[in-house]
Amino acid sequence: MKKGDSIAFFVLIFLIILLPVLSGSTYTLTVGIFSGINALVAIGLCILMGYAGQVSLGQAGFYGIGAYVSSVLSLHIGLPIVISTIFAMIVAAIAAVILSVPALRLKGHYLAVATLGFGEIIYIILNEWGPGGPSGFGDIPHFSLLGYTVDSTTGYFYLIWGLVAAVMFFSINLIHSRTGRALRAIHESELACNAMGLNVVALKIKVFILSAVYASLAGSLYAHYVTFISPSSFSLFYSILVLMMVIVGGITNLWGAIIGAVVITVLPELLRRFEELDVLVYGLILTLSLMFFKKGLVPILIEKIKKLRGFAVAKH
C-alpha cells in the first residue's frame, strides 16, 4: 500500500470506530449503513470502469441477485446467512460470466446498452418470478454469524463498514498489483496488451466477476438489514445512482467510490424538503460534475494537496 492509501485507510478505520461512539443517533447510523452498502457496489464499479475501462449500467442486476438469492435461501430453505450470502455471490459471479463472455467483445455504447439490458432483464425477472412479485416480500432474517445475530443499528454499522474496510483493503492491494496494472493497461490500449501477452479476455471477465461479487455482497447485506425487499430497489435507477457515486467521487480513485457513495446517499436526506425534486437534482449533479468536475472530488482534492505541498516546499 502506498503512503497516501495507508493514511486514508487509518482515517477510515478511525472514523468507523468513532462515529457510533460520537453520534449515537440511530438516524445518522442508518444513513451511514446505507452509505456503506452503496460504497461496496461503487468500489466494484470503480474498479470495473475507472481502472479497467469497462462500462456497466447493470450493477443493479447483481445487487438484486445478491438480495434475492440470499433472502430466499435463508428464509425458505433456512440456510445460515453467511452461507446464503456466499451462495448469492456465486450466483452473481455466474451471471457475470454469462453476461461478460459475449459482452466483452463490445465497447463503449454497445457495452453500456448491453449491461443496461442485462440489469433490466434481472429487474423483470424479479418482478415476475420473485416472491411477492412487484410488491416484494418481508420477514427476511437478520444477519447472524456463529449464533450471534446482528439486530442493532450499531451492530449493522460495524458489520457493514467492517466489510467495506476489508473490501477496500483487498481492492487497493489488487489495484497496486500486477493484475491492477494489467487492468489499467487494458483501459489504455488493448492492442498493446495483446502484444504483451496479456490475456485481455480473461482479465475482463475476472474484473466483471469481481464487481458483480461486490454488488451481490452489498445486496445481501441490504436485504438482511432492511428485512423487506421489493424489485423497485433494484431498477435501472440504482445502476445510475451507483454510476453517479463513482463519478462524483472520482472514477480514477478507489477512495472516490467511498466518498461518492457517502455524498450521494446523504444528499437526498439533506434534500428531503424538496421531495419531488430528487430526480432533477440527481440529474443536475451528474451533469454538472461530468462537465465541470470531470475528475471527481477525490482526485481534485489530491491535486490541491499536492499543489499546496509543492508551494510549501518551494517556499523553504
Contact 155, 20 (CB under 8 A): no
Distance CA 93, CA 266 (A): 30
Terminal-to-terminal C-alpha distance of the chain = 29
Question: Does the protein bind another protein through residue 83 (CB under 8 A)?
Answer: no
- Looking at 11-19, 66-74, 139-147, 166-174, which segment touches another protein (CB under 8 A)? 166-174
For 130-186, the DSSP string reads STTGGG-B--PPPPEETTEE--SHHHHHHHHHHHHHHHHHHHHHHHTSHHHHHHHHH
Min dist. Cβ of residue 55 to another protein (A): 6
- Looking at 38-46, 49-57, 87-95, 136-144, which segment touches another protein (CB under 8 A)? 49-57
Question: Does the protein bind another protein through residue 113 (CB under 8 A)?
Answer: yes
Instruction: Please name the residue that has the C-alpha cell 487494458.
Output: 186
Question: Does the protein bind another protein through residue 283 (CB under 8 A)?
Answer: yes
**The only residue of 3, 21, 78, 102 in contact with another protein, by rule CB under 8 A:** 102
Instruction: Let me know the angle formed at the C-alpha of 251 by 30 and 57, rounded to the nearest 5 degrees.
Output: 75
Min dist. Cβ of residue 178 to another protein (A): 5
Number of C-beta neighbours around residue 61 at 10 A: 34
Question: Does the protein bind another protein through residue 191 (CB under 8 A)?
Answer: yes
Phi, psi of 144 (to 5 degrees): -145, 150
**The only residue of 2, 76, 107, 304 in contact with another protein, by rule CB under 8 A:** 107
Query: Mask: binding to another protein, 237-276, rule CB under 8 A, as x and -?
Result: ---x--x---x----------------------------x
Question: Does the protein bind another protein through residue 182 (CB under 8 A)?
Answer: yes
Q: Output 135 or 199, the one with its CB closest to another protein.
A: 199
- Looking at 2-10, 125-133, 142-150, 154-162, which segment touches another protein (CB under 8 A)? 125-133
Paired strand residues for 144: 149
Question: Does the protein bind another protein through residue 92 (CB under 8 A)?
Answer: no
Question: Does the protein bind another protein through residue 188 (CB under 8 A)?
Answer: yes
Distance CA 242, CA 60 (A): 8
Min dist. Cβ of residue 25 to another protein (A): 30
**The only residue of 17, 18, 189, 228 in contact with another protein, by rule CB under 8 A:** 189
Min dist. Cβ of residue 125 to another protein (A): 8
Contact 35, 43 (CB under 8 A): no
Min dist. Cβ of residue 201 to another protein (A): 8
**The only residue of 34, 63, 118, 143 in contact with another protein, by rule CB under 8 A:** 118
Number of C-beta neighbours around residue 302 at 10 A: 17
Phi, psi of 235 (to 5 degrees): -90, 180
Phi, psi of 143 (to 5 degrees): -65, 135
HSE toward the beta carbon, residue 34, CA cutoff 13 A: 18
Phi, psi of 145 (to 5 degrees): -140, 125
Question: Does the protein bind another protein through residue 152 (CB under 8 A)?
Answer: no
Question: Does the protein bind another protein through residue 303 (CB under 8 A)?
Answer: no
Binding interface with another protein (CB under 8 A): 49, 53, 55, 57, 102-103, 105-110, 112-114, 116-118, 120-121, 124-125, 127-128, 170-171, 173-174, 177-182, 184-185, 188-189, 191-200, 206, 210, 236, 240, 243, 247, 276-284, 286-287, 290-291, 294
